[in-house]
């Protein structure tokens, strides 16, 4: 892939979930490629969701210290939400009939300059606010 890719929480979670099977393999490969190409980006929202879900909801949860260490590794990719992202997300949610939290990811992805948002939570090949939604788990 060329250009920046914004990573949703589920991609990051699968890469650390020992029970995720082939999704873990795919997520790990995607993240490795983004590190190698220096084209990965994500938001503070993704890191927050990762911390909570990886320590509470995975079948074999990470310890809080492990989850913090992972989150800190991804700080170089991180864009923090701005007040403009908050209002852009409101508009994106209304115009595209999206959940607000998904729209906030799209707004952050757009502001980061990402060409695509990697997620399994939105419609594959849909374009929202100029960002292409890509589900890396589809064959």
Residue closest to 14 by CA, chosen among 29, 24, 25: 24
**Which residues neighbour 30 within 8 Å (Cβ) at sequence distance 6 or greater?**
5, 7, 11, 118, 136
CA atoms within 13 A on the CB side of 64: 0
Instruction: Tell me whether residue 106 is in a domain.
Output: yes
Residue closest to 38 by CA, chosen among 105, 113, 102, 111: 113
| Domains of the chain: total | 1
- CATH number for the domain harbouring residue 52: 3.40.50.1010
CB-CB contact of 102 with 84 (8 Å): no
> What is the spatial distance between Cα 27 and Cα 35, in angstroms, rounded to a whole number?
12
Domain that holds residue 78: 5-134
Give the predicted TM-score (pTM) of the model: 0.94
pLDDT of residue 55: 98
Instruction: Tell me whether residue 85 is in a domain.
Output: yes
Q: What is the pLDDT along the chain (139 residues), one digit of tens a residue?
A: 569 999 999 999 999 999 999 999 999 999 999 999 999 999 999 999 999 999 999 999 999 999 999 999 999 999 987 899 999 999 999 999 999 999 999 999 999 999 999 999 999 999 999 999 999 999 7
Instruction: Tell me whether residue 139 is in a domain.
Output: no
Judging by beta carbons within 10 Å of its beta carbon (0-12, 13-18, 19+), is residue 120 exposed, middle or buried? Answer: middle
> What is the spatial distance between Cα 11 and Cα 119, in angstroms, rounded to a whole number?
7
| Token output for 18 | 């020992």
Instruction: Tell me whether residue 95 is in a domain.
Output: yes
Instruction: Tell me whether residue 50 is in a domain.
Output: yes
Residue closest to 92 by CA, chosen among 48, 52, 126: 126
Instruction: Tell me whether residue 86 is in a domain.
Output: yes
pLDDT of residue 44: 94
């Amino acid at each position: 892939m060329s250009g920046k890719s914004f990573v949703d929480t589920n991609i990051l979670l699968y890469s650390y979930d020992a029970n995720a099977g082939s999704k873990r393999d795919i997520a790990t490969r995607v993240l490795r490629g983004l590190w190698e190409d220096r084209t990965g980006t994500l938001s503070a929202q993704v890191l927050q969701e990762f911390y909570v879900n990886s320590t509470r909801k995975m079948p074999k949860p990470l310890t809080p210290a492990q989850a913090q260490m992972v989150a800190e590794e991804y700080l170089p990719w991180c864009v923090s939400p701005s007040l403009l992202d908050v209002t852009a997300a409101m508009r994106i949610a209304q115009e595209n009939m999206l959940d607000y939290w998904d729209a906030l990811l799209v707004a952050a992805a757009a502001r980061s300059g990402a060409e695509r948002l990697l997620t399994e939570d939105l419609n594959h090949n849909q374009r929202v606010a100029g960002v292409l939604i890509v589900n890396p788990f589809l064959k």
